[in-house]
Structure formats: C-alpha cells, structure tokens
Amino acid sequence: MLCAIALVSCSPRVAGSAEPRGTPGQRSAAEPAVTPSVPAPSPSSQAACQQPTLLGTVITNGIVARVAPRPSARAIASFPKINAQGAQQVFDLREAVTGADGTLWYRALLPLRPNGTTGFVPSTSLRLTQTPYRLEVDRVRLRLTLWSGCRVIGRYQIGMGTADTPTPRGTFYLSSLMKPTTSTSVYGSYAFGLSAYSSAITDWRWGGMIGLHGTNDPASIGKRVSHGCIRMRNADIEHLARILPLGTPIEM
C-alpha cells in the first residue's frame, strides 16, 4: 500500500513519445536484470496479447465518468486533469459508443472502489494513445511477466501480499509514477500507483491504493509479506519506469 511516506511524482514515458523525463538510476550489479525469454504465448494469453491497449489521457480541466454515454446520465465520479499522486489522469479504454447526440464516448476502467468499476467518459476530453505493453502476475510462482504484444520481453521475481492483506485480483493499470525522496525508503527507487485498491485496508494514504514498487528489503522478494502491494528489486522497477507509460494494464 502507498502510505504517507514522502513521494514525488515524476513523468514516466507517454505512449508514442521518446524517452521519459526523470530518468531512473542505473541498474545495480548486485541486482541484475532478469534475462528475457520469448516463448510462444499460452492459449490463455494469445488473444489478449495481440491487440494494444487504448489509453485516454485527460486534456481538459477535468472529466466526469457516467453510468451511460450521455451528459444527463448519473455521474459515477469526477476526475481532475492531475490526479492525487500528481500524475496526468489516464484511463484504460474499452469499447467506443456513439451517444444519442452523436458524441463519441468510451467505457473506461476507473481507479475507484470497488475494483473493476467502469464508466463512460466523453472522447472530447481525452487524448488517445496506445501501448503494446502489459504486465501479468503469476501468483503461484511470484513472478511478473512483461509482454509487448505477443512477445515476452521480461520476467521478474516479486513479493506479494499476505493472507490477511492480500494483493487484489483483477485487471488494473498503472495510474501514477512516484519517486521516494530517499533511496532507502520502503518503496525503493520508484513506485507505480495502480488503479487497484486493498480489500483489507482503507485508512492509509489515498484510501489503500495498491502499488507496484521497489524495496529496501530485497530479501522480501519471492515472499508473501506485503500489505497488498507488489514488490520488485530496485533495478527491475527502474527498468519498468523507463519504458512503461501510465495506463499500462496489469493482470493480477
């Protein structure tokens, strides 16, 4: 969970852009990169890996998600252009729907409780991009796989939540990227905020938002010891921070 420790928002790579601003640190020799492998996609992953994910970044002062694709529909929630973690508000977009007035709307995955909530947002408030990347959590092997389309380009060992503070299940996305003000924090060198929320903790900063982050305790990698967040070696989270845009989906 992302609790009240000093974190500074930074600007990760935006889909379709060049290099990110705020370059992460170099990989440590003590924490080498996981050697990528390129197996054939499994039947369960093959369909999902063939299509890029459509992302919508808010370009107006704010946006309202509604229960139906029309301005008069009940509002689910409003979102500012910059979210609570200091990042541009982004959504993973599902199907496009034309409203009765001819306006194009998208059904979006929303960073809200309960996990998996969706709502309709107007295309006029969004800048559309795509990403070929997605992350997939193996809860049995405690492993995170990075896909680009149908190619596996990295596998990383991770730590996860305990039985009392479990890592939530579902499809979510990277909603923010923050850098702790100290390199020895419990979040290591970088922390992605996710659109997922804890089922066990609600009173921490940002309401129990789940994170994907580094760690100052590399011995905890490969174990179920967290409050629900996913932990990685610092070198590995630095690698992801260099290449993944906000909105990258993560299946947990």
DSSP strands (E only) in the chain: 7-9, 53-58, 62-66, 75-80, 90-98, 104-109, 118-122, 126-131, 133-138, 143-148, 151-157, 160-161, 171-180, 191-197, 209-213, 224-226, 230-231, 249-251
Task: Please give, one letter per residue, the 3-state secondary structure of 160-190.
Answer: EECCCCCCCCCEEEEEEEEEECCCCCCCCCC
CA 142 to each of CA 126, 145, 159, 169, 212: distance values in angstroms, whole numbers, following the listed order: 35, 10, 6, 14, 13
In terms of phi and psi (left: phi > 0; alpha: psi -120 to 50; beta: otherwise), the region of 57 is: beta
State the DSSP code for 198.
-
Active-site annotation, residues: 213, 229
Residue type, position 41, single letter: P
Half-sphere exposure of 69 (CA within 13 A, CB side): 18
Burial class for 114, CB neighbours closer than 10 Å (0-12, 13-18, 19+): exposed
